């Protein structure tokens, strides 16, 4: 009799476990339906491989998440309280809560471009009224709960028939194959930079697709070739927001001198005397910030005028900056002078330029001299008005040519670490070398040349790239900006904060006569007037910093944030300033098609 009761109990538990597996699978399918909202932001694929990957990934990912919820929240209750009525009601509540969280995450992703995490939740809670409008946030959970109760009861009544037909093993194998196949396809897609696959990397919550680029490259896959042969995906950005209206009556030559790793505070009479004097005679922006602390994010903000959160947007691998598009349309000849190994993102950023690479790979200083010589020859032979970007790289590697005499060493800042003090005067020597080259370039320019001199990014005195990437101090992002106008304008020392994002609108309006509002194509406004924003964004889609009046907030893609004082010295124990950060997040989504 006791054995009979035990057997009945085991059968009941077995039946409940089978029911739970099927209930989790059905909820995985419901999650796919809710998850379709993510694709409205990312865009649908245009190729067979894209659709195949999306189908496999969606089925494998959401059913896996549903099974995890079952194992954590339902399976233990099945063993502790093996009563079908209790379990069905509890499971319906858990499933409803899970789908509501997923639905809320789609709303957050649509508005901020991020999935739920502690940082985003705190931010969204402040902005809850704007996110949840109308009565749908009340009606929707009730409707989902009714659906879940119906599904739970429907499955329970038919679970014996389903078990007898032995569908379970087949479904598990199919779902498992989808999960594994999607990761294998992503390994290949990541190695070949196939955007039809990688565009979905951040689309789904808790998604961490496998990557093995170095492994695939060992088997001879050429990333560059595979990328060039890919079809252009459907647009997910509307950039610019409106057709450009530009008509340049006078077309000055435009020279942008973009210097890698240039700290604003070292543009002085001791280290860079020529640039310091040149700045005093022209428009000098004393509180100017790069759009990033790395070459890619700094150059992206300088040419696209967009926040670094757009740097991995698939569309921009095929769409050049609006600035260079309009320059080309207005008859300009575009030239880029840089080192041969200079890479930037997105892939189309330099496509409008004729690129002239410096050949010297052994020395950045020699490469700079080669770039300058090529620039002089190129501009002297140009028959059209030209727009050139001259990228000088010596300060990044603390480099100077052999035999360079330079300047006297000085005592380093007492706050520097011992290793930084060693690098300090080497860095000053490379800046002085660049300063002498600026003198040679700018003293022999055609009179009708508009000159922009700035740093691509600032410089942290370290030999560790990882340490430099994670540092958002003023040394890393505050750079000089000097503009010389071809017509005579009074010298001006501008003290309000400006950013790289404002350079594009300034050139578009001042040199090309564009009448569109800057918001049509940029995250910045003209340099000629203070920004209405109380914050400055600098960074990319992985980690970024927000400079506000009295604090600096750094945030990574996982929502971990830290708040520092203005000198980046003291971590402040305070909450996020939500209104400004909400503005930042929305600016980072403004150009996406909804």
Q: What is the pLDDT of residues 97-124, one digit of tens each?
A: 999 999 989 988 887 777 887 777 777 7
Report pLDDT for 218. 46
26 pLDDT higher than 60: yes
At 4, the pLDDT band (50, 70, 90 cuts) reads low
Percentage of the chain beyond pLDDT 90 is 58
The residue behind tokens 């305070």 is: 574
Kindly report the backbone phi and psi dihedral angles of residue 358, in degrees, each rounded to the nearest multiple of 5, phi listed first. -75, 140
Q: What is the pLDDT of residues 187-218, one digit of tens each?
A: 998 887 787 888 888 889 988 888 865 444 44
Closest CA to 78 of 23, 27, 16, 22: 16
230 pLDDT higher than 60: no
Angle at 272 between CA 392 and CA 366, to 5 degrees: 30
Q: Which residues have C-beta within 8 Å of that of residue 267, sequence separation ≥ 6?
A: 275, 276, 279, 480
> Lowest mean pLDDT: which of 358-362, 484-488, 497-501, 504-508?
358-362
At 93, the pLDDT band (50, 70, 90 cuts) reads very high
Q: Helices 418-442 and 364-381, interaxial angle, to 10°?
A: 20
Q: Terminal CA-to-CA distance of the chain, rounded, Å?
A: 65
Angle at 524 between CA 522 and CA 525, to 5 degrees: 110
Distance of CA 536 to the CA centre of its chain: 15
Kindly report the backbone phi and psi dihedral angles of residue 133, in degrees, each rounded to the nearest multiple of 5, phi listed first. -115, 150
Q: Say how far apart CA 282 and CA 265 lie, in whole Å.
A: 18
- Exposure string over 362-375, b if 16+ CB within 10 A, otherwise e: ebbbbbbbbbbebb
Kindly report the backbone phi and psi dihedral angles of residue 256, in degrees, each rounded to the nearest multiple of 5, phi listed first. -105, 115
Average pLDDT of the chain, as a whole number: 88
Q: What is the pLDDT of residues 364-382, one digit of tens each?
A: 999 999 999 999 999 999 9
Report pLDDT for 2. 55
How would you classify the pairing of strands 283-289 and 492-499? parallel
At 290, the pLDDT band (50, 70, 90 cuts) reads very high
Kindly report the backbone phi and psi dihedral angles of residue 448, in degrees, each rounded to the nearest multiple of 5, phi listed first. -90, 40
Residues 86/202, Cβ–Cβ less than 8 Å? no
Q: Which residues have C-beta within 8 Å of that of residue 268, sequence separation ≥ 6?
A: 276
Report pLDDT for 505. 97
Q: Say how far apart CA 128 and CA 146 lie, in whole Å.
A: 25
384 pLDDT higher than 90: yes
358: helix, strand or coil: strand
Q: Say how far apart CA 408 and CA 75 lie, in whole Å.
A: 73
Q: Say how far apart CA 303 and CA 403 lie, in whole Å.
A: 35
The residue behind tokens 């502690």 is: 118
User: How large is the C-alpha radius of gyration of the chain?
Assistant: 29
Angle at 121 between CA 117 and CA 127, to 5 degrees: 150
Q: What is the pLDDT of residues 349-360, one digit of tens each?
A: 999 999 999 977
The residue behind tokens 């009606």 is: 139
Output the DSSP codes for 316-377.
GGT---HHHHHHHHTT-EEEEEEETT---SSTTTTTTSEEEEE---S-HHHHHHHHHHHHHH
9 pLDDT higher than 60: no
What are 263's two structure tokens? 């700290």
State yes or no: cis peptide before 346, omega within 30 of 0: yes
Neighbours of 175 (CB within 10 A): 18
Return the domain boundaries, the chain.
Answer: 2-228, 253-587
How would you classify the pairing of strands 354-358 and 333-339? parallel
DSSP state of 266: G
Output the DSSP codes for 483-529.
EE-SS----EEEEEEEEGGGHHHHHHHHTS---S-GGGT-S---TTS
Region 570-575 average pLDDT = 79
At 180, the pLDDT band (50, 70, 90 cuts) reads very high
Residues 253/446, Cβ–Cβ less than 8 Å? yes
CATH number of 253-587: 3.40.720.10
Q: Say how far apart CA 383 and CA 280 lie, in whole Å.
A: 32
Report pLDDT for 8. 62
Closest CA to 205 of 60, 65, 95, 56: 65
Q: Say how far apart CA 568 and CA 563 lie, in whole Å.
A: 9
228 pLDDT higher than 70: no
199: helix, strand or coil: coil
What are 476's two structure tokens? 């890393």
Report pLDDT for 359. 78
Report pLDDT for 418. 81
- Higher pLDDT among residues 12 and 431, named by residue: 431
Percentage of the chain beyond pLDDT 70 is 92
Q: What is the pLDDT of residues 322-368, one digit of tens each?
A: 999 999 999 999 999 999 878 788 989 999 999 999 977 789 999 99
């Amino acid at each position: 009799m006791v054995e009979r009761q035990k057997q009945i109990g085991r059968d009941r538990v077995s039946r409940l476990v089978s029911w739970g597996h099927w209930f989790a699978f059905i909820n995985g399918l419901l999650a796919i339906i809710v998850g379709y909202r993510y694709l409205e932001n990312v865009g649908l694929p245009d190729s067979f491989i894209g659709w195949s990957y999306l189908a496999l990934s969606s089925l494998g990912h959401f059913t896996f998440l549903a099974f995890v919820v079952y194992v954590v929240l339902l399976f233990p209750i099945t063993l502790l309280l093996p009563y079908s009525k209790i379990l069905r009601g509890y499971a319906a509540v858990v499933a409803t809560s899970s789908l509501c969280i997923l639905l809320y995450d789609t709303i957050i992703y649509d508005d901020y471009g991020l999935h739920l995490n502690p940082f985003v939740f705190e931010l969204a809670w402040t902005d809850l009224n704007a996110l949840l409008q109308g009565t749908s946030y009340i009606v929707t959970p009730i409707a989902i709960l009714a659906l879940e109760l119906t599904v739970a009861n429907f499955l329970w009544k038919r679970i014996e028939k389903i078990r007898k037909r032995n569908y379970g093993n087949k479904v598990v194998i199919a779902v498992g194959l989808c999960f594994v196949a999607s990761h294998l396809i992503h390994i290949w897609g990541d190695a070949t930079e196939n955007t039809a696959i990688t565009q979905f990397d951040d689309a789904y919550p808790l998604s961490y697709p496998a990557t093995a680029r170095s492994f695939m490259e060992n088997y001879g896959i050429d990333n560059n070739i595979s990328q060039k042969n890919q079809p252009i995906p459907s647009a997910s950005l509307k950039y610019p927001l409106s057709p450009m209206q530009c008509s340049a009556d006078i077309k000055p030559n435009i020279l942008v001198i973009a210097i890698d790793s240039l700290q604003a505070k070292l543009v002085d009479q001791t280290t860079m005397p020529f640039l310091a004097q040149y700045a005093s005679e022209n428009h000098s922006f004393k509180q100017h910030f790069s759009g990033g602390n790395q070459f890619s994010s700094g150059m992206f903000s300088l040419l696209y005028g967009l926040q670094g959160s757009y740097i991995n947007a698939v569309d921009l691998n095929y769409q050049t900056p609006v600035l260079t598009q309009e320059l080309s349309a207005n008859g300009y000849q575009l030239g880029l002078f840089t080192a041969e190994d200079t890479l930037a993102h997105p892939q189309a950023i330099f496509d409008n330029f004729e690129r002239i690479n410096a050949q010297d790979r052994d020395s950045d200083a020699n490469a700079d001299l080669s770039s300058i010589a090529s620039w002089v020859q190129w501009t002297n032979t140009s028959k059209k008005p030209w727009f050139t970007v001259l990228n000088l790289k010596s300060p990044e590697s603390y480099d100077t040519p052999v035999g360079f005499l330079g300047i006297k060493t000085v005592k380093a800042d007492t706050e520097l670490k011992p290793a930084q003090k060693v690098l300090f005067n080497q860095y000053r020597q490379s800046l002085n070398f660049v300063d002498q080259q600026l003198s040679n370039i700018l003293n022999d320019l055609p009179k009708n040349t508009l000159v922009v001199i700035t740093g691509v990014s600032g410089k942290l005195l370290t030999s560790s790239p990882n340490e430099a990437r994670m540092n958002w101090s003023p040394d890393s992002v505050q750079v000089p900006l000097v503009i010389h106008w071809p017509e005579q304008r009074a010298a001006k020392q501008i003290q309000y904060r400006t950013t790289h994002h404002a350079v594009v609108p300034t050139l578009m309006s001042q040199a090309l006569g564009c009448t569109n509002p800057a918001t049509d194509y940029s995250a910045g406004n003209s340099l000629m007037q203070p920004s209405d924003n109380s914050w400055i964004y600098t960074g990319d889609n992985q980690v970024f910093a927000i400079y506000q009046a009295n604090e600096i907030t750094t945030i990574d893609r996982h929502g971990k944030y830290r708040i520092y004082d203005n000198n980046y010295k003291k971590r402040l124990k305070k909450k996020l300033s939500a209104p400004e950060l909400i503005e930042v997040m929305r600016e980072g989504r403004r150009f996406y098609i909804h």
